[in-house]
Structure 1
Amino acid sequence: MAVNLHIPSETDIFPVAGVEIGVTEAGIKKENRKDLTVFKFSPGTAVAGVFTKNRFRAAPVQICESRLQAGHDIRALLINTGNANAGTGADGLERAYATCHALAKELGVLEEQILPFSTGVILEPLPCEKIIAALPQAISALGKNEWMKAAYGIMTTDTQPKICSRQIQIDGRTVTFTGISKGAGMIRPNMATMLGFLATDADIEPQLLKSLTLDIANHSFNRITVDGDTSTNDSFIVAATGQSGIQVDNTSSPHYETIKNELTAMARELAQKIVRDAEGATKFITVRIEDAGNSEEALKVAYAIAHSPLVKTAFYASDPNLGRILAAVGYAGIEDLDVNKTRLWLGDVLVAENGGRSPAYQEEDGQRVMNEAEILVRISLGRGDVTETVYTCDFSHDYVSINADYRS
């Protein structure tokens, strides 16, 4: 059951000029399920991506990284669910290349202009013949505002589609931002078992888009965790079609900060929706580390808390066993941490200070916060002025059931 996950109405989803989307059924894992999606971009669209750091990177990830590094003019994305095409060696690469070749032929573009994406079961051969056979249907379904269908089409264990869209005015022109994501388990930064696709009709210089995409990912998809597992297929793509006429050539461009802030806000919303729909989640938890000496140590502490099964199961049970949080702070890896300067809040309740329980803390206050669906854990380290925030969820019985039954 998703935690306060907002699904916009169709009228609140805006098409991005220069982007067409087609969704169809290929029968990759199950019949009568939308599992194949094609994005087609207008010529001149700038495309950048950030991918998993898992050494067993899936075949499509390897191809995407290579083609983006080579600077190819990307014209289409090919996305399948039901099969990750990971842990499949040279055969997996050949199958991914075959699907790209087939799509390029259908669209009349070069094979190198196609980026493939897969999500699903690892170690299974990609049924490329099913994908290739379904490509004409996907292409015939291409439309200017099929974002919602695509949001459903890329789901695996997700229970809800993850989509957001907004428009802003710049110099009298409308600039559109629309994006989708998927992911519910095997979620951890660098990146999660997630796919994210974000498009805008702003005109962003390609090299600038590359650095911008990495920065956006570091403040959104690289700030979420469900279970601490880093997947083999994580991919986050930003496409800028330039159709609005609003140009951003460098960081000094007058509209750079506005465009960057909008893209970051969109990506953060899509990332948070993944956590809200995490496998078996009943609570959305924000872990904010304040007064850290640097970003690295702040994130060490944040992830020690967010990854702890003891902490996460306590949240599921609404049990204010908050010593578990202090223990996680203590083993996070800050060797010279002064625990007497460390303070812990649960929501608006000061729980611990001066190395122990706050004299004013009452368990019923902690219980009140633990009963809520959205919870803020705030830690002050008393070491500096750096703040970092990570988003996570609780662990429930359903998480085990979902992952135990995943292949059946």
Structure 2
Amino acid sequence: MAAQEEFFTGIPKIPYVPSAGPGEVMCFKHYHAEEVLMGRKMEDWLRFSVCYWHSFCGTGADPFGSPTLHRPWNEGPPMESARKRLRAAFEFFTKLGVKYYTFHDRDVAPEGSTLEESNRNLDEITDLALQLQTQTGIKVLWVTCNLFAHPRYMNGAATNPDCHVLAYAGAQVKKGLDIAKKLGAENFVFWGGREGFLSVHNTDVAAELKHMANFFKMAVKYKEKIGLKCQFLIEPKPKEPCKHQYDYDAMSVIGFLQHYGLERHFKLNIEPNHTTLAGHSYEHDIVMASALGMLGSVDSNTGSPDLGWDTDQFPMDIRNTTLVMKTIIEQGGLQPGGLNFDAKVRRESTDLEDLFIAHIGAMDAFARGLRNAVRILEDGLIAGMVKERYSSFGHGIGQKVEDGSATLEEMEAFIEQNGEPKVTSGKQEKYESIFNHYI
């Protein structure tokens, strides 16, 4: 980029320096993109992506305070700042060394007074995005549409009681899918920010669920019509801003998809901060979605469970990243999904370098988690213990249960012959101690 267009002056491409000391934070100490683990490069296991909305649109404002993050690319008229923001973002992606980014339609281009104006803005800015992608080789991990911020969506989008609003959402998604094809997005995400209810008294739950399913079916048809080759993803969240959101957690979404015959067309984009809001452990929804073949991508962030809301912090806990990467390796990777940093620097972290420090720390945390997970799986100790724990399903009546041919009559006959089962220890503390060995 030309010198006058440089936004992160004095910051070079972030190097890998494994010998760096604890105070050296502008380098990777663990993330080595080219390092091969279990037959695959580290960058291919991790598939890191930077999110546009927090990192380049975020201002640090919260319900209790004004903006604190005054970014040079957010100055000027809307379209001028949109172009500057995009150039700043690609400078950041390049210097950080990531290959993917994600965005909402309204992140990259300002909304106009009409749909037509909004679409023109989007066309103009994505022309520049396509040019920058071609120049840098950086790709779009996924596109999504903001169907929650505008006042028209205060009662929902696909679940709105007014079909006029649902139609607007449909028109917006149509354009979003066109943009996804234009930019070669590998996935398209639906996040139902206001698809739920605040009061059951004014809500027809059955109607709203049906309308949402039909909305998704329209999207599937249009995707097929235009020949868009990408994975559709749904991102669960239990609450906030709604009291109850229909995509509560992984199992709720999977049940919804199966009920309406949509399971072939969608997978899940799991955000662990949303998982903990649902009352689950950090890794819970990642494990559950993966177990059912529905884990498509991960919005890699964390929260503060003691606060109880969605704080979107950068993930720095090595235990958590190890559990996530163990699941990802066991399912053979995340492609075409990835690890998208849906996280924001704290409103008190106001320096431009803080944006780099946050991403570097999180990328290193996942690199350490990946290495830990590889060691756990290559050693095979925990896997062997789990296999032994379920060994009774490998023969006799257990094998019949496993393959689905057993009957209740056979259960009764087995007990009459063998009597009361011997209770065996779950050895939870042993598993936890062994896991800690690898951290």
* TM-score relative to the length of structure 2: 0.27
Asked which structure has the greater RCO (Cα within 8 Å, sep 6+), the reply is 1
* TM-score relative to the length of structure 1: 0.29
Larger % of strand: which?
1
Q: Which is higher, the Rg of structure 1 or of structure 2?
A: 2
